[in-house]
Amino acid sequence: MVVVVAMPPALSLLVLLVLALHGGAGDATPPPPLRLVRGALRVAFDEGYTRMFGDGNLAVLRDGRRVRLTLDESTGAGFASQDVFLHGFFSAAVKLPAYYAAGVVVAFYLSNGDTYEKTHDEVDFEFLGNVRGREWRVQTNVYGNGSTAAGREERYDLPFDPTDELHHYSILWTRRRIIFYVDETPIREVVRTAAMGAAFPAKPMSVYATIWDGSAWATLGGRYRVNYRYAPFVAEFADLVLHGCAVDPLAVEHSASCGDEEEEAAEAVVSSAAMAAFRRGHMSYSYCHDRRRYPVALSECALTGGAASLGRLFGPDGMKRRRARRVRDASS
């Protein structure tokens, strides 16, 4: 804007500082390669993905090996996989916007909402921005057959600053289970049960990555909105992995064996002890403990590993009790 030229020197310096804080995403050090699934290779952007929206707010860097997504007052940005998959292992290394990011949502997820408007499936990593000095929150969602009202959301803090460096976030989806990973640590496993029925995602999905304005709900239910004085908000994606069974989304039937290799790999890499430790130390909300939303817990909650022992740490709203958080912080 033209008025920027007339800003006082001190204010100009502040703006330059904010831009510098947001502009260093391309210099992030890549994390070590994942070893979770044998044969899962990284792909260049043009090999596996296509631009979805954002125009100039989506920049492909380093010979297609990194993608920078920017949110400003004009638009956010996003990309989607060229293929549609039924099961597989999908991963990206992500570096989130720093400084003030309230209302900002960065997402890496699977969905078929474009094909099934009212009965869509979805498996999400949603990164929810916060005010200055407060950490980003990471939420995982599992929706099947349009069951967004049932939710199945869990929310976590992280044992590192996700704005400092790239970290891997991965989803393994098979016929029998869904596993979420942060770097190489499993943080959540959803096992398919007969009682879940169609609520377990079972239709082919595309893979997406986006940054957008979630002011209405993302930070304390919309209390803090995106403040564009701190724009641009920049997220970087790298180490893009698409290792799944590509299918025709309109086909009536698909191979019954699709995803078997990934299932075998999952059984080999899931560490129940590591997952239990992460969940005890970092899960801040669980739908399985939210008695206000679910007076009768959903069927799979009784089967969730460690659910009974974790119950005393959570209040009736599903949020971790503050006392439990203070004990954790004091011991760290």
**Using one digit for the tens of pLDDT, what is the confidence trace for 20-54?**
444 444 467 777 778 788 778 899 999 999 999 99
Which pLDDT does position 15 carry in this prediction? 36
* 301 contact partners, CB below 8 Å, separation of at least 6: 287, 288, 307
Quote the pLDDT of residue 173. Answer: 93
Please tell me the distance from the alpha carbon of residue 97 to that of residue 19, in angstroms, as a whole number. Answer: 11
How far apart CA 59 and CA 66 sit, in angstroms, is 8
Judged against a pLDDT cut of 60, whether residue 331 lies above it is answered with no
What is the per-residue pLDDT for 32? 79
Is it the case that residue 8 has pLDDT exceeding 70? no
DSSP state of 73: S
* Alpha-carbon distance values, 97 to 70, 121, 180, 181, 215 (Å): 9, 28, 22, 21, 16
Using alpha carbons, select from 324, 20, 28 the residue that is nearest to residue 162: 28
Q: Is the pLDDT of residue 71 over 90?
A: yes
Helix (H, G, I), strand (E, B) or coil at 19: helix
Q: What is the pTM of this model?
A: 0.86
* 124 Cβ neighbours under 8 A, 6+ residues apart: 107, 108, 109, 110, 111, 139, 140, 141, 142
Query: Looking at residue 270, what is its pLDDT?
Result: 66
**Greater model confidence, 126 or 10:** 126
- Distance (Å, rounded) from C-alpha 24 to C-alpha 22? 6
- Coil, strand or helix at 46: helix
| Residues β-bridged to residue 185 | 182
Per-domain residue ranges of the chain: 35-311
- When mean pLDDT is compared across 50-64, 261-275, 282-296, 305-319, the lowest value belongs to 261-275
**What letter would DSSP give residue 267?**
H
Q: Which amino acid is at 56?
A: G
Report the catalytic residues: 122, 126
Instruction: Name the architecture of domain 35-311.
Output: Sandwich (2.60)
Q: What is the pLDDT of residue 271?
A: 74
Per-residue DSSP letters for 120-184? Answer: --EEEEEEE--STTS--EEEEEEE-TT-TTT---EEE--SS-TTTS-EEEEEEE-SSEEEEEETT
Span 148-191, pLDDT tens digits: 777 799 999 999 999 999 999 999 999 999 999 999 999 999 99
If one counts every other C-beta atom within 10 angstroms of the C-beta of residue 183, the result is 17
Which long-range CB contacts under 8 A does 192-198 form with residues at least 24 apart?
Answer: 193/299, 193/300, 193/303, 195/299, 195/300, 196/144, 196/299, 196/300, 197/145, 198/119, 198/144, 198/145, 198/147
**Tens-place pLDDT, residues 190-229:** 999 999 999 999 999 999 999 999 999 999 889 999 999 9
